[in-house]
């Protein structure tokens, strides 16, 4: 794995909150090797978003701002929906 992907994987799995580590980190662990460069660019944007805001958007507690909607978010949301256990 190249340095950029390793760095992004580390950042995704060490977010600061356990919930974000599990959701974002799990998604990145599963997809990091198959993400295209433009998706890695979007991932870098995702990793700059505070955990509280990001998890509110992923769980649907709050509406995501239109300027943040990117294809990578749909993949992340779909991953979260698929892994939810009640």
For the residues 11-25, what does the mean pLDDT come to?
93
State percent of the chain over pLDDT 90: 72
State percent of the chain over pLDDT 70: 98
For the residues 36-54, what does the mean pLDDT come to?
95
For the residues 45-55, what does the mean pLDDT come to?
93
Predicted confidence (pLDDT) at residue 74 exceeds the cutoff of 90 = no
Radius of gyration in angstroms for the set of CA atoms belonging to the chain, rounded to a whole number:
12
Give me the helices (H) in the chain, please. Answer: 3-13, 18-31, 37-48, 51-59, 71-83
Residue showing tokens 């580390």: 10
Instruction: Show the tokens assigned to 58.
Output: 């992923």
- What's the mean pLDDT when you consider all of the chain? 92
The alpha carbon of 9 is separated from its chain's Cα centroid by a whole number of angstroms, namely 10
For the residues 54-67, what does the mean pLDDT come to?
91
What local confidence, expressed as pLDDT, does residue 68 receive? 85
Q: Residue 75, CB half-sphere, CA atoms under 13 Å: how many?
A: 18
All structural domains of the chain:
3-83 (1.10.150.250)
């Amino acid at each position: 794995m190249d340095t950029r992907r390793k760095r992004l994987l580390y950042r995704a799995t060490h977010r600061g909150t356990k919930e974000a580590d599990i959701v974002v980190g799990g998604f990145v662990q599963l997809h990091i090797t198959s993400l295209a460069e433009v998706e890695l660019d979007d991932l870098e944007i995702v990793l700059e978003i505070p955990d509280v805001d990001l998890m509110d958007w992923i769980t649907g507690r709050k509406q995501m701002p239109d300027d943040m909607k990117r294809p990578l978010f749909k993949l992340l949301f779909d991953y979260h929906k698929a892994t939810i256990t009640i």
